[in-house]
Amino acid sequence: MNFRNNGLAKIIGVLYMLVSVGCEAPPEEISMPETDLSSENLIPMPSTMVATNSGFKLDQYTRVVTSPVDGNLLDVANYLTDKIAEKTGLRLAINDPEGEEKEAVIYLLQQQNTSWPNDEAYTLSIKRDSLILAAPSAKAAFRGIQTIRQLIPEISNDTLAEYPIWPIATGSIEDHPNFEYRGSMLDVARHFFSVEDVKKYIELLAYYKINVLHLHLTDDQGWRIEIKSWPRLTEIGGSTEVGGEAGGFFTQEDYKEIVAYAAARYMMIVPEIDMPGHTNAASVSYPILNGNGKTPQLYQGTRVGFSTFDTRKDTVYAFIDDVVREISALTPGPYFHIGGDESHATKKADYLYFVNKVEKIVQKYGKQMIGWDEVAQADMDSTSIAQFWDNERNAKLAIEKGMKVILSPAKKAYLDMQYDSLSKHGLHWAAYIPVDTAYVWTPETYVDKIPKEMILGVEAPLWSETISNLEELEYLAFPRIIGYSELSWSQEENRNWENFRVRLANQTPFLDMMNVNYYPSPRIDWVKSNRSFKEILKD
Ligand code: TNX
């Protein structure tokens, strides 16, 4: 619909309307402009859309009605009205018994009787006076309200009128995700990020229907999660980070706060304790864990592959049992990630023995194990999951063992890779990943002979060797993560770079409103946002 770009005709229409009906006009007399739902800048692209070229009247009289009035759906309605208020200044009433017939209504309906394609599917039916979001659950409705948020124009079509209106394009949408696991990972171990930083990242991801945040909580340089039975992990192991700054850690209360914040956005947290390699910070805190009789030093560099637990020692498994027990008790999601990557200092036989033992501990606490692709070399249970990042042979091994895989190929999906050789932050050991390279690949066929039903989803990891604050995090993650959301939510036939490029260019009003320090890739013709009414008149 793009009222911003509709040009002179629209503006003349608005001015004419203002002159002819004056500012006192009751809202129903304002005519709706023509719209085109199918050319909206939705990301990820919905499964199907049909445009009917009129406008739903979103204004101060619009009401939100939920049915049945179930607590979770009410929370979704509250989230939606908060976001509408942030974007438009309108504070919409929810389930207002005083509401009048003639007002436009946004319905959030829970419908369990319909046969939905999956449990995050939803439909939107938008007419002039009603916008109906139907979904099987509050979770699915939460995905649907992101679409509603994206359909609301950035500015009203008549900002000078007393009753401004934000017309929403009419038509219908049927939508459901392509993959159930749509994630990003954040490495809080190499550099620590605060609860507030993590919350902002979650909030941004939720807008693009991402439903997993994997937290890489431990590594050689830092242990970032309080374990009550082993307090020195954070006292000592959490005390520094790459570059030698003071590190930091999440208390269990902090972690619960992150989990709850994510859960309110129907996003799960996947905690990772990386082992048996990447464990220098743990062994500095408790030197008994590494078994070589030496007390290691805190490490502030960026090398990998030099540390290991002693995989033949009972104390190590007693330690891991405590860690998995405490973290699992704080984590409602079904998964526990054991790392398992780059254990170059662990003998192969020890590594295989270790992964099998730890898989059993994870299962004992009711969780499904995820590990980086190397874990597929061990004798794995088919319920465990391999996260493919580097080695296709490991991914195929996982499939042979009946394990599902998460796709995070470093050459395509690593958010810590530089955009190009001039990028301010990031590494390039796997590749330079400009915005188009990040988007133009097909998860469904990326690894030969992995059938789609064995792919749990796509995850874009953000390792933090080269970034130490939220601005730098945002610079590497945005805009690429927006493309990964589409690669994991949208069906293959609905993904197209040229089309995506235009929709991405139009994310600037949202990114600017959210104060996101995105990388302004020269491959995208970014739309200038926050244009005033005067600026629009000049168009
Ligand atoms: C490889 S990917 C690693 C990490 C590094 C990353 C940097 C993986 C499982 N291991 O330890 O941080 O490269 O890009």
Q: What is the pLDDT of residues 298-335, one digit of tens each?
A: 999 999 999 999 999 999 999 999 999 999 999 999 99
Query: At 28, which amino acid appears?
Result: E
Task: Return the closest-CA partner of residue 441 out of 433, 430, 429.
Answer: 433
pLDDT value at residue 227: 98
Residues 53-75 have a mean pLDDT of 93
CA-nearest residue for atom 4, ligand 1, is 463
Q: Rg for the chain (alpha carbons), in Å?
A: 25
Point out the least confidently predicted range of 17-26, 195-204, 243-252, 500-509: 17-26
Write the pLDDT tens digit of every residue in 212-222. Answer: 999 999 999 99
Cβ of residue 93 lying under 6 Å from some atom of ligand 1: no
The β-bridge relationship of strands 105-110 and 130-135 is parallel
Instruction: Looking at the CA of residue 219, tell me the nearest atom of ligand 1.
Output: 11
pLDDT of residue 242 exceeding 60, the answer is yes
CA distances from residue 327 to 120, 257, 299, 457 in whole angstroms, order as listed: 27, 13, 24, 24
Catalytic residues, by residue number, are 342
What is d(CA 94, CA 105) in angstroms, rounded to the nearest whole number? 10
Q: Where are the alpha helices (DSSP H) in 5-106?
A: 8-21, 71-88
Query: At 142, which amino acid appears?
Result: F
pLDDT value at residue 10: 39
Instruction: Looking at the CA of residue 463, tell me the nearest atom of ligand 1.
Output: 12
pLDDT of residue 95 exceeding 70, the answer is yes
Instruction: Looking at the CA of residue 304, tell me the nearest atom of ligand 1.
Output: 11
Cβ of residue 388 lying under 6 Å from some atom of ligand 1: no
Cβ of residue 163 lying under 6 Å from some atom of ligand 1: no
Q: Extract the tokens encoding 305.
A: 């592959």
Cβ of residue 120 lying under 6 Å from some atom of ligand 1: no
What is d(CA 380, CA 432) in angstroms, rounded to the nearest whole number? 33
Q: Extract the tokens encoding 91.
A: 């504070």
CA of 242 to the centre of ligand 1 (A): 14
Q: What is the mean pLDDT of the chain?
A: 92
CA of 399 to the centre of ligand 1 (A): 22
Helices (H) and strands (E) in the chain, counts: 17, 17
CA of 251 to the centre of ligand 1 (A): 25
What is d(CA 175, CA 197) in angstroms, rounded to the nearest whole number? 30
What is residue 230's three-state secondary structure? coil
Cβ of residue 416 lying under 6 Å from some atom of ligand 1: yes
Instruction: Looking at the CA of residue 417, tell me the nearest atom of ligand 1.
Output: 14
pLDDT of residue 101 exceeding 80, the answer is no
Which residue of 337, 463, 465, 467 sits with most ligand 1 atoms within 8 Å of its CB, as the best mutation to test the pocket? 463
What is d(CA 88, CA 111) in angstroms, rounded to the nearest whole number? 29
